[in-house]
Amino acid sequence: MDAIILQILNGLDKGSAYALIALGLTLIFGTLGVVNFAHGALFMIGAFCAVTLQRILSLSTVTLSKTETNFLGQPAEIKTPYVESWFGPEAGAAIIDWSVPLAILFSIPVMIAIGFIMERGLIKHFYKRPHADQILVTFGLAIVLQEVIKYFYGANPIPTGAPEVFKGSFDFGVLLGFDPNAIIYPYWRLVYFGFSALIISAVFAFLQFTTFGMVVRAGMADRETVGLLGINIDKRFTIMFGLAAAVAGLAGVMYAPINSPNYHMGMDFLVLSFVVVVVGGMGSLPGAVLAGFMLGILESFASMNEIKSLIPGIDQIIIYVVAILILLTRPRGLMGRKGVMEE
Amino acid sequence: MFGLAKKDATLLLVVVGLTLLAPFILNPFPTDSAMAQFNAGYPDLMQRFVIFGIFAIGFNILFGLTGYLSFGHAAFLGVGSYSAVWMFKLLSMNVIPAIALSVVVAGLFSLLIGYVSLRRSGIYFSILTLAFAQMSFNLAYSVLTPITNGETGLQLTLNDPRVLGISQTADGSIPVTGLFGLEMRSTYTMDVGAWAFQFNVGYYLCAVALLVAFYLAIRIFRSPFGLMLRAVKSNQQRMNYTGLNTRPYTLAAFVISGMYAGLAGGLMASMDPLAGAERMQWTASGEVVLMTILGGAGTLIGPVLGAGFIKYFENIFSKINDNVLHGWFSFMPDGLENFVITIIHPFIGKGWHLTLGLLFMMVVIFLPGGLVEGGQRIAALFKRGKKDDDGADTSKATTPAE
Amino acid sequence: MSILEVKDVGKRFGGLQALSDVNLSVAENSVHAIIGPNGAGKSTLLNCFVGKLIPDTGSVMFDGQSVLGRKPFEINQMGISRVFQTPEIFGDLTVLENMLIPCFAKRDGAFELNAIGSVQSDKEIGDRAMQMLEEMNMADKRDMHAAAMSRGDKRRLEIGMCLSQEPRLLLLDEPTAGMARADTNNTIDLLKQIKNERDITIAIIEHDMHVVFSLAERITVLAQGTPLVEDTPDNIKGHPKVREAYLGETA
C-alpha cells in the first residue's frame, strides 16, 4: 500500500510537467490550429529563466580583504553580491536563496514576450499551411532555440537549487500511519505539484469565467462563426499564444530544481507531451491534464522493481504502449472532440 | 533507355556520372593548399553522402509521394544496422548476406509498424511512428541489451562464432568486412600532381547501391503505383470513391521506404561494423526529414541533394574554427575583423546545428520545394532574362509566394 | 426493373431521427431525383448508398446485392460512382492524370502493386483516358493542374472521371450547388447528353428546381427523413402535400 502511494506521489511531479506543457500545446492547437513542435523549447527556456535570474542575482562586486589572505599571501577576494550590498546581507542572501520562486515573476513577461514574437513573427504565417509544414517549421525553430541556449549556457546541465527551506524531504508515511521513512517525498516536488494545480485551475478559471475566455472557447469550437460575429479573434489568439508560452515557461521555471536545466530538456519533454496531448485528445483541455497525470503516474508505477521484473523494460515503453493502444481503440483520444484533425 | 523516358534517363546518367566520378569532383583542391579543408573526396565522407542519400530517397517515396510524415524512420535504419552486424558475427564477413538481411528485417519491421500506424493519418500518424521509434530506441538501450549490447553498441569481438569464416585473423585481430575477398576499407590513392584522389571499395559498393536505389525510385515515381501514391496525397476521399483501397497503397509505400532505410543501415554497418541505439533516436528520424525537405520533397533528385548538402556542410562547418576565420578575414582592420568573427562564431564549429535549424526554417518558409525549387527558380530567372532584354521585372518575379 | 432498392431504412444521430421508413426504388436507366427542404435527410440517405454511413435499420440493395457494411471503394467497384457537392478531384495532379486514375481502378481493381511498369507506356489506359477527356471536351486542358481550373471545369472533370468507370449507377449530390447560371445550364446539358448516349442510371439530389424538372423522370420528395411522395415531375409540381412541405416553405 505504501509503495503504491509512493509511486502515485512520484508520478505527480512529472505528470504535472506533462500536464502543463500539454495544456499549452492543446490551447495553441485548439485556438490557432497549429501543431507547435517548439513548445518543448518554451519549457526549456522557462527553466533557463530560473538559471538566468539566479545568475543575475549572484552578480557580485569584488573587494580585497584587509585581514584575510589567499594561499599566495595576497589579499583574498571577497565577492559581495549586489543584492546583499543593497538590501543588507541577510535579506540579500534570502533573495538569492529564493531565486527560483522569484523567477516566476521574472519569467512571465519574458515568456509572454517570446510567445508574442513567435506568433506574430512566424506562426501567424502558417495558419493556412498544411500541418506538416507547421510541424516542420516549428521543429526547425525548436532546434534554433535549443542551440541558442546551448551557445550561451553550454551543454552541461546547470544545477539550480530550490530555496533552503524546501530542500529536505517530507515523511508522508508517518502522516498516514505507516512506518517512518516508508514514503519519503521531497518538499519541492510537493510545491511543484501544488503550483501546477494552481496554474491549471487558473487557466481553466480564466477560460470559464472571463469574457475573453468565453470567446476563446467559442473560437476553439467554431472559429469561423466567431469570426463572423465581428470579434477580432486573431488578436485574442495572439494573447492566447503568449499565455500558453507563459504556462510552459512557468512549468519550466519550477522544474529547474527537480532536474538541472540542460539545452535538450525541451525536446525530451516535447515528445512525451505530444503523446500526452494525443492520448488526451487533440483540442481537449481536460483531456490534456488528465492524460498528463495519468501517464506520469503510470510511468512511475512501471518503474517499480516488482513490475519491472515481471515485464522487463516496461518502464521504458509504458507511455508509448498506452498511447498506441489508446490511439487505435479511441482514435480521438480520451476526451477528444469529433472532427479535430481528421481527414 | 532502361525503360525510362528521355528526361529521366538523362537524370539517371547525370547521377551515375556524379557518383562514379565523385572522388575527382569532390576533391577539387590540391592536398597541400589552404582550401583542402573544403575537399570532401575522402572515403568516410563520400560513403556517408551516398548512404544518407539512399535513406532520403526511400523516405521520399513515403513522404514525398503520399504526404505521410513519418517521424520514426531511423528505427528501420537502426534495425538494419543491427541485423547486418549480427550477420557479420554469426555468418560471414561478406557484406552481401548482411545487407540482404538488413533489408529483409527492416522490411518486416516496417510492415508491422506501418500496419498499425497507417490506421491513422495526419498528425496522429506522425505521433504513432514517433512513439514506435522511441519505443524501439528505449528497448534497444535497456531490455534488448543481449541483442543490441545497450549503450556500448553492438560490435564485433575476437570470439564471434563465424560459421563461414574465421573468428580472428592469423595475427589475432578481427577480420574486416568484404565482398568476396575485396576488403571494404581498401583504398587506392591516385596521385596526380598536387592532388591525391582516393578510390575506396566501400564507397563504390555504396555508390552502386545508390544507383540501383535511385533507378528503382524513378521507376516507382513513373509507375501506376507511384501515381496512386500521389493521388493518396492529393485526395483520399476521391480515391475511395473511385474504387481504390488506399490502405495497401500506403502500406506498400511505407514498407518500401522502410526497406530503403534498412539498406542504408546495412551499408552503414558494412562500412564500419558496429551499430548503436542512437541511430534510432527521433533526432535521427528528424535528420532524414530535414534532408528530404531541404532537397525538395516529392522530387527525384531532391533527397539526394539534401543528404549531400547536409552531410557536406555538417562536415565543413564543424571544421571551421576561429583560427580559420581569422585567416579569411585578415584583410580587414583588426576591430572589424574581430567584430565579423564574433558574429559568425556561433554558427560554425559546434554551432552547426544552429545554422542547420535556421536554414531549415528558411527553406520551409520561403522555399517549400527545397533546393530543387530554388534551382528551378534560378533557371527560370535566366530564361526570362534572355527572352526580354530589359529584364526589369525578373527580380520581382522571384519573390517567394506565401 | 429497379437497380437500387431501398427498404425501411432508418438512421438516428443521437436524439435526431435523420431517416425513418425510407422506401425507394430507382428504375434502371432512369433519372431519379430526390428533393426535399434543408435537413430532410437527402445527404444522409445518399451516404447510406455509398458506404459512408450504415443505416440502423432496413436494407439497401444494388442490383440484387446488399451494399450495407461494404467500404466506399468496394461499393464503387460494384458499379456505383459518386459526384460530390463540391467537386472532389485530385487537385495536385494534371487533368490527364486525374482521368488515368479511374481508368486504372476500373481495369486493375482496388489495389494493384505495379511499381515498375510505366504509366506513360500503358497505351490501353492512356488511350482510354484521352478518349474520355475528348468526350468531356477537355483534351486541350490535359496538362493543366486540376486545381487551377474553373469550378465548372472541375465538375465536368469529376463527372468524366466517374463515367470513365462505366458505372451502372451515377449518384450526384447537388451537382450545381454554388454554380453560376451558365455553368448550371452547361451541367444540365452534359447530364442530358450522358443520359441519351449511355446505358446508365442517374440518381440526383438537388435543391435547384430548374435542374430537377429539366432532368428527372421520377422524383421522390423527402421531408423530415421520410419520403412524402414519389411521382413524375408533372404530378409533383401540382401535388398539394409537396407544395406545403417544400415549395410552400420557400414561398
ipTM (interface predicted TM) = 0.91
**Beta strand pairing status for C80-83 and C169-173?**
parallel
Question: Alpha carbon of A257 to those of A196, A229, A295, B254: distances in Å?
Answer: 15, 46, 22, 43
From the list C50, C89, C165, which residue is nearest B235 (CB)? C89
Would the pLDDT of C191 be above 80?
yes
Q: Do chains A and C touch (3 or more CB pairs under 8 A)?
A: no
pLDDT tier at C127, thresholds 50, 70, 90: very high
B244-262 pLDDT tens trace? 999 999 999 999 999 999 9
Residue range A94-105: mean pLDDT, rounded: 80
The cell for B383 is 530564361
Alpha-carbon span C127 to C143, nearest angstrom: 15
- Cell 407544395 found at: C243
Overall residue count recorded for chain C in this entry: 251
Q: Which residues contact C66 (CB under 8 A, 6 or more apart)?
A: C59, C60
Q: B135–A136: do the CB atoms touch at under 8 Å?
A: no
Sheet bearing C65-66, strands edge to edge: C16-27, C2-13, C57-62, C65-66
A30-62 pLDDT tens trace? 777 788 888 999 999 999 998 888 888 877 777
From the list A125, A143, A320, which residue is nearest B356 (CB)? A143
Q: B361–A341: do the CB atoms touch at under 8 Å?
A: no
Q: A328–B116: do the CB atoms touch at under 8 Å?
A: yes
pLDDT of residue B124: 82
What secondary structure letter does DSSP report for C246?
I
pLDDT of residue C133: 93
Answer yes or no: are the C-beta atoms of A314 and A307 closer than 8 Å. Answer: yes
Taking the CA of residue B78 and the nearest CA in chain A, the distance in Å comes to 18
Among A153-162, B322-331, B357-366, C124-133, name the one with the lowest average pLDDT: B322-331
Taking the CA of residue A319 and the nearest CA in chain B, the distance in Å comes to 9
The answer to whether B244 contacts chain C (CB < 8 Å) is: yes
Alpha-carbon span B348 to A251, nearest angstrom: 32
The answer to whether B384 contacts chain C (CB < 8 Å) is: no
Buried b (16+ CB within 10 A) or exposed e, B269-278: bbbbbebbbe
Q: Which residues contact A209 (CB under 8 A, 6 or more apart)?
A: none
Q: B252–C100: do the CB atoms touch at under 8 Å?
A: no
The residue ranges of every structural domain in chain A are 2-56+77-263
The answer to whether C166 contacts chain B (CB < 8 Å) is: no
Q: B282–A271: do the CB atoms touch at under 8 Å?
A: yes
Among A272-276, B58-62, B338-342, C84-88, name the one with the lowest average pLDDT: B338-342
Chain A residue closest to B135 (CA)?
A317
Taking the complete model, does pTM exceed 0.90, yes or no? no
Selected residue of A34, A131, A147, A326 to mutate for chain B interface (largest B Cβ count, 10 A): A147
Region of B69 (left: φ > 0; alpha: ψ -120 to 50; beta: rest) is beta
Q: C71–B249: do the CB atoms touch at under 8 Å?
A: no
Q: C119–B234: do the CB atoms touch at under 8 Å?
A: no
B149-190 pLDDT tens trace? 878 888 888 888 888 877 788 788 888 887 887 887 888 888
Residue range C54-80: mean pLDDT, rounded: 92
Answer yes or no: are the C-beta atoms of B63 and B217 closer than 8 Å. Answer: no
Q: C110–B245: do the CB atoms touch at under 8 Å?
A: yes
- Cell 522571384 found at: B398
The residue ranges of every structural domain in chain B are 6-319
- Say how many C-beta atoms besides its own lie within 10 A of residue A11's C-beta: 22
Pick C94 or A311 by higher pLDDT.
Answer: C94
Q: C102–B242: do the CB atoms touch at under 8 Å?
A: yes
Neighbouring-strand partners of residue C9:
C22
Q: Taking Cα atoms as reference points, which of B338, B359, B356, B296 lies closest to residue B65? A: B296
CATH of B6-319, one of 1.10.357, 1.20.120, 1.10.3470, 3.30.980: 1.10.3470
Given 3-state DSSP classes, what are the helix, strand and coil percentages for chain C, each rounded to the nearest 5? 40, 25, 35
Q: B131–A275: do the CB atoms touch at under 8 Å?
A: yes
Q: B243–C110: do the CB atoms touch at under 8 Å?
A: yes
pLDDT of residue A284: 83
Answer yes or no: are the C-beta atoms of A247 and A203 closer than 8 Å. Answer: yes
**Which residues in chain B have Cβ-Cβ distances shorter than 8 Å to C119?**
222-224, 226-227
Would the pLDDT of C77 be above 70?
yes
- Name the H helices within A222-264: 223-228, 233-255
pLDDT tier at A223, thresholds 50, 70, 90: low
- Say how many C-beta atoms besides its own lie within 10 A of residue A23's C-beta: 28
Neighbouring-strand partners of residue C202:
C31, C170
Residues of A with CB under 8 A from a CB of B: 35, 122, 125, 131-133, 135-137, 139-144, 147-148, 151, 267, 271, 274-275, 278, 282, 312-313, 316-317, 320-321, 323-324, 327-328, 331, 341-343
Answer yes or no: are the C-beta atoms of A252 and A47 closer than 8 Å. Answer: yes
Chains meeting B at 3+ CB pairs closer than 8 A? A, C
From the list B128, B142, B143, which residue is nearest A327 (CB)? B128
Alpha-carbon span B331 to A146, nearest angstrom: 34
Q: Taking Cα atoms as reference points, which of A311, A287, A315 lies closest to residue A299? A: A315
Q: A136–B293: do the CB atoms touch at under 8 Å?
A: yes
C105-125 pLDDT tens trace? 999 998 988 888 888 888 999
Alpha-carbon span C54 to C48, nearest angstrom: 6
Would the pLDDT of B400 be above 50?
no
Task: Give the B:C interface size as CB pairs under 8 Å.
Answer: 110
Q: What is the 3-state secondary structure (H, E, C) of B188-234?
A: EEEEECCEEEEEEHHHHHHHHHHHHHHHHHHHHHHCHHHHHHHHHHH
Interface of C with B in 91-120 (CB under 8 A): 91-93, 97, 100-102, 104-106, 108-120
Taking the CA of residue B251 and the nearest CA in chain A, the distance in Å comes to 16
Q: A147–B119: do the CB atoms touch at under 8 Å?
A: no
Backbone phi, psi, residue A4, to 5°: -65, -45
Q: At what angle are helices A131-153 and B122-141 packed, to 10 degrees?
A: 40
Q: Taking Cα atoms as reference points, which of B98, B133, B91, B127 lies closest to residue B112? A: B133
Q: Do chains C and B touch (3 or more CB pairs under 8 A)?
A: yes
What's the mean pLDDT when you consider all of chain A?
Answer: 81
Q: What's the burial of B59, exposed, middle or buried (CB within 10 Å: 0-12/13-18/19+)?
A: buried
Q: Taking Cα atoms as reference points, which of A112, A88, A100 lies closest to residue A49? A: A100
Return the percentage of chain B with pLDDT > 90, whole number. Answer: 37
The cell for A124 is 501567424
All structural domains of chain C, each given as residue ranges with its CATH number in brackets, are 2-250 (3.40.50.300)
Q: A342–B130: do the CB atoms touch at under 8 Å?
A: no
Selected residue of B66, B68, B115, B143 to mutate for chain A interface (largest A Cβ count, 10 A): B143
Residue range A327-335: mean pLDDT, rounded: 78
Amino acid at B91: L
pLDDT of residue B346: 76
Alpha-carbon span A139 to A124, nearest angstrom: 16
Interface of B with C in 5-34 (CB under 8 A): 5
Taking the CA of residue A177 and the nearest CA in chain B, the distance in Å comes to 37
Helix (H) or strand (E) segment spanning residue C47: helix C42-50
Answer yes or no: are the C-beta atoms of A279 and A25 closer than 8 Å. Answer: no
Amino acid at C31: V
Pick C57 or A176 by higher pLDDT.
Answer: C57
- Cell 467537386 found at: C87
pLDDT tier at B393, thresholds 50, 70, 90: very low
Q: How many helices (H) and strands (E) does chain A have?
A: 15, 4
pLDDT of residue B218: 94
**Which residues in chain B have Cβ-Cβ distances shorter than 8 Å to C83?**
none
From the list B116, B124, B361, which residue is nearest A141 (CB)? B361
The cell for C234 is 408533372
Among A320-329, B326-335, C55-64, C214-223, name the one with the lowest average pLDDT: B326-335
Among A190-204, B279-293, B309-323, B368-382, name the one with the lowest average pLDDT: B309-323
Amino acid at A324: I
pLDDT of residue A230: 66
Chains meeting C at 3+ CB pairs closer than 8 A? B
Amino acid at A12: L
Chain B residue closest to C75 (CA)?
B243
From the list B223, B235, B248, which residue is nearest C116 (CB)? B223
Residue range C225-232: mean pLDDT, rounded: 87
Q: Which residues contact A142 (CB under 8 A, 6 or more apart)?
A: A37, A38, A40, A41, A266, A267, A270, B357
Instruction: Give the E-state strand segments of B264-331 in sequence order.
Output: 274-275
Alpha-carbon span A301 to B192, nearest angstrom: 66
Given 3-state DSSP classes, what are the helix, strand and coil percentages for chain A, each rounded to the nearest 5? 70, 5, 25
Q: A131–B293: do the CB atoms touch at under 8 Å?
A: no
